[in-house]
Chain A
């Protein structure tokens, strides 16, 4: 496929040099680390950046011989055909370049769903071609925009099962399809495209809430039955596996039932798409993290925002890439994760395991003064 010529923006170059510094830091011992962290704090301070926090290395030596690891994610690219909208295509290309430039490479890349905007085969194909350029292995998850034109047929044909599990370096991973809605289309005699367009409208009230569903929960229970409760668990879902704001499906209707299946595990993180924003939740010991979109940021919901969430700054309408980006997840030896939001045009923000485990008391990410209203 012909690539769109890529000229590295100022932000990309800034990002690359920052990544290089961080990678160097990871290889230092603790005493050196403190010295360098102090130096980078000073450097950041002289550059008038108020968030030295994000310049600190996030991978921590567990000291017990286990190998922590890192994976990256790209999510919610909402691709139309290239002739229809080139902006979203460019964004996904940029995300792929950014992640390919990470050194060392992530162990794998999760795609968090909504690859396509209207579930069309041509959109999925374009997405697959672009993601095909990723050097690391890719794990796919489905979103509602991929699903409701043909109920996932073209997606499954191309990417395989819409729910599955796998093990990686001692962590059990589960990928769910959390966007199953009860039938609202048959009675109204909607065409497949009318059904797709209804679900594609975030604020469209003529649809039903997302669910994981009885059948899939039974599958999940069975899958987890074979896993030791001490094994760290990381679950991927497109919608948040908790109830935030129903009118926009920032919501999974059977969230409590799914949470009940996860609760017996000691270290649990749920990584979800759909919300296109920095979003954190902790329910008992279960941690939930949102992913950024490459296409556009959503506003925060008018109600239900988790107390522990540190909001990201409001996006700048004068820059279509602002508030978008990719991200990384650092899995520690104890199975808990740091979630990094690699925002384009901004300093990255880390929501660390210390922050979530302390219920938001310690290691707070820099907060914005421009809250959503």
Chain B
């Protein structure tokens, strides 16, 4: 995931500021050009004397970088916009000795659980982002899924597989996602392996967590 790496780099970027002398212009001896580790973002400042001043420089660099890299903070944005997306199961019951050493299910640590939860939740958030973005969906009419399915309402993932009369066959959730993608959204269907499809399926299923499966239901 490109974006996540970028935001991580951005985080470290604040720490690794390269201080370079300003290139001999008329602004006086004290001006310095601060370049961020992306090699592109820079500002010209008086050298920082206190820690607060230094932080202010880093902050404004970061703000500038954000402006040039919209979407880098996507995960926080999606969390803020969709705070109701249910979190994954936390698996706390796996903690403890279980049946003792040697058993796989006795050996997981809090770090393992945190990793699973973070990565799973992140996939779901990525799905939420795509579901809500007509650009990511490639809509030719600026329509995204949430316009008809707020919080993924009426997507009923728990009812698949089922016979879809209009398609004349038994379909899976992804087939109906593709159908809506092609028709109300007026984009092109995507491959079942497409990362966007996997993410959207994840989000739709997450939104319905707790609902019993009932395949075939209309």
Contacts and interface: CB of A to CB of B under 8 A. Distances in A.
Interface string B107-146: 0000000000000000000000000100000000111001
B146 A317 contact: no
Contacts of B106: none
A181 to B, nearest CB: 15
B151 A372 contact: no
Interface size class of A (residues with CB under 8 A): 20 to 34
B153 A205 contact: no
B142 A204 contact: no
B142 A84 contact: yes
Given A202-B150, A248-B150, A85 B183 contact: no
B82 A204 contact: yes
A299 B151 CA distance: 10
Contacts of B132: 201, 204
Interface-central residue, B146, B154, B156, B180, by most chain A CB under 10 Å: B154
A317 B82 contact: no
Interface-central residue, B80, B83, B132, B151, by most chain A CB under 10 Å: B151
Please classify the interface of chain B as helix (H, G, I), strand (E, B), loop, or mixed, using the class held by over half of its residues.
Answer: loop
B82 A205 contact: yes
B81 A372 contact: no
Interface string A191-212: 0000000100111111000000
Contacts of B2: none
Contacts of B153: 299, 302
23 contacts: A80-B141, A80-B142, A85-B141, A117-B142, A202-B146, A202-B150, A203-B82, A203-B146, A203-B150, A204-B81, A204-B132, A205-B84, A206-B80, A248-B150, A296-B148, A297-B148, A299-B153, A299-B154, A302-B151, A302-B153, A317-B179, A317-B180, A320-B183
A203 B184 contact: no
Contacts of B151: 203, 247-248, 302
Interface residues of B, number: 24
B81 A206 contact: yes
Given A202-B150, A299-B153, A302-B153, 20 more contacts: A80-B141, A201-B132, A203-B84, A203-B146, A204-B81, A204-B82, A204-B132, A205-B80, A206-B80, A206-B81, A296-B148, A298-B148, A299-B148, A299-B150, A314-B154, A317-B179, A318-B166, A320-B183, A370-B218, A373-B156
A299 B180 CA distance: 15
Interface string B197-216: 00000000000000000000
Given A80-B142, A296-B147, A201 B81 contact: yes
Contacts of B147: 202, 296
Given A85-B142, A314-B154, A317-B179, A299 B81 contact: no
A87 interface: yes
Interface in B148-178: 148-151, 153-154, 156, 166
A86 interface: yes
Contacts of A302: 151, 153
Contacts of A84: 141-142
Interface-central residue, B146, B147, B166, B180, by most chain A CB under 10 Å: B147
Contacts of A204: 81-82, 132
A317 B143 contact: no
B84 A247 contact: yes
Interface string B67-87: 000000000000011111000
A248 B142 CA distance: 21
